[in-house]
């Protein structure tokens, strides 16, 4: 009597298709040489970069959406440092010190990671000074990216979440981790890869910073192992009909 394999085959095919469209957390090694990195260095005050009460804290996108030299944009207008707005902390300039409780303090360039081996003294951050919900950094790309991530750290006892969206602003994937400490910032990478293409990435947290925002438009590799497994399942199915 032939073995009925259709339900098993259909379920396996469905899982393989889902795996091809989805992704898992990625680390820096997943990026290709075509990657682009935004280190938030060398940005000064101007028409769309506001100042704050602190000499070393600037407010990007103060009047409208701001596009960094790398091509990534951050949503504006910025509501301000004390209203959950994004801030740039230049640690080589005297002024404010960012304290994340037992997770450490960001006071000098030595506290900031050096993404991809590039010396960095400035990073971008946000904190929930309003106490009404998590602060966020909302970034946009002009075209599809397939890998996005950054080195992150934040306040003790909090979490940091990354969300990715496609060109229609449909949520693709969310990933949340416990906020890493300043001491482990240089090894704490939070990233996602998606074959559909990422147009928007949002980082959320109570009090956090990120550096080395990295994005890569190179398509993800074909899931060849999955295709081979699917072929094997088809062979098993047809043999089972004999």
Report residue 2's pLDDT band, with 50, 70 and 90 as the boundaries.
Answer: very low
pLDDT for residue 226 is more than 50: no
Measured CA to CA, the distance from residue 159 to residue 178 in angstroms comes to 4
pLDDT at 149 (0 to 100): 98
Per DSSP, 46 falls in state B
pLDDT at 158 (0 to 100): 95
pLDDT at 231 (0 to 100): 44
Kindly report, residue by residue over 175-186, the tens digit of the pLDDT.
999 999 999 999
Contact in structure between 84 and 59 (CB atoms under 8 Å): no
Kindly report, residue by residue over 43-73, the tens digit of the pLDDT.
999 999 999 999 999 999 999 999 999 999 9
pLDDT for residue 8 is more than 50: no
pTM for the complete prediction? 0.84
Average pLDDT of the segment spanning 112-116: 97
- Tell the burial category of 110 from Cβ atoms under 10 Å away from its Cβ (0-12, 13-18, 19+): exposed
Residue 165's φ and ψ, nearest 5 degrees, are -130, 150
- Reported residue count of the chain is 242
pLDDT at 132 (0 to 100): 73
pLDDT at 104 (0 to 100): 98
pLDDT at 22 (0 to 100): 53
Report residue 223's pLDDT band, with 50, 70 and 90 as the boundaries.
Answer: low
Residue 21's φ and ψ, nearest 5 degrees, are -80, -30
Positions of E strands within the chain: 36-38, 49-51, 57-60, 66-67, 73-74, 87-90, 98-99, 105-106, 122-127, 135-154, 159-165, 171-178, 189-205, 207-216
Kindly report, residue by residue over 127-163, the tens digit of the pLDDT.
998 877 789 999 999 999 999 999 999 999 999 999 9
The alpha-carbon radius of gyration of the chain (Å, integer) is 22
pLDDT for residue 16 is more than 60: no
pLDDT at 239 (0 to 100): 52
SS3 25: strand
Residue 185's φ and ψ, nearest 5 degrees, are -55, -40
Measured CA to CA, the distance from residue 108 to residue 113 in angstroms comes to 11
SS3 151: strand
CATH architecture assigned to 25-219: Sandwich (2.60)
């Amino acid at each position: 009597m032939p073995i009925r394999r259709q339900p098993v085959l259909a379920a396996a095919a469905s899982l393989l298709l889902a795996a091809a469209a989805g992704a898992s957390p990625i680390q820096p090694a997943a990026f290709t040489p075509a990657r682009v990195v935004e280190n938030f260095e060398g940005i000064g005050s101007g028409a769309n970069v506001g100042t704050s009460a602190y000499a070393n804290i600037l407010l990007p996108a103060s009047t409208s959406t701001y596009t960094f030299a790398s091509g990534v944009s951050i949503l504006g207008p910025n509501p301000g440092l004390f209203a959950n707005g994004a801030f740039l902390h230049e640690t080589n300039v005297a002024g404010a010190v960012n304290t994340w409780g037992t997770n450490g303090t960001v006071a000098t360039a030595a506290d900031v990671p050096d993404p991809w081996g590039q010396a960095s003294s400035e990073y971008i951050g946000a904190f929930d000074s309003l106490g009404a919900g998590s602060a966020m950094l909302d970034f946009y790309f002009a075209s599809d990216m397939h890998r996005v991530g950054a080195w992150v750290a934040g306040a003790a006892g909090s979490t940091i979440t990354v969300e990715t969206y496609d060109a229609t602003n449909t949520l693709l994937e969310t990933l949340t981790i416990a906020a890493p400490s300043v001491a482990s910032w240089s090894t704490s990478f939070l990233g996602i890869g998606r074959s559909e293409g990422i147009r928007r990435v949002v980082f959320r947290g109570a009090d956090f910073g990120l550096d080395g925002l990295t994005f890569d438009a190179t398509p993800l590799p074909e899931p060849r192992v999955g295709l081979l497994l699917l072929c094997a399942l088809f062979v098993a199915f047809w043999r089972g009909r004999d």
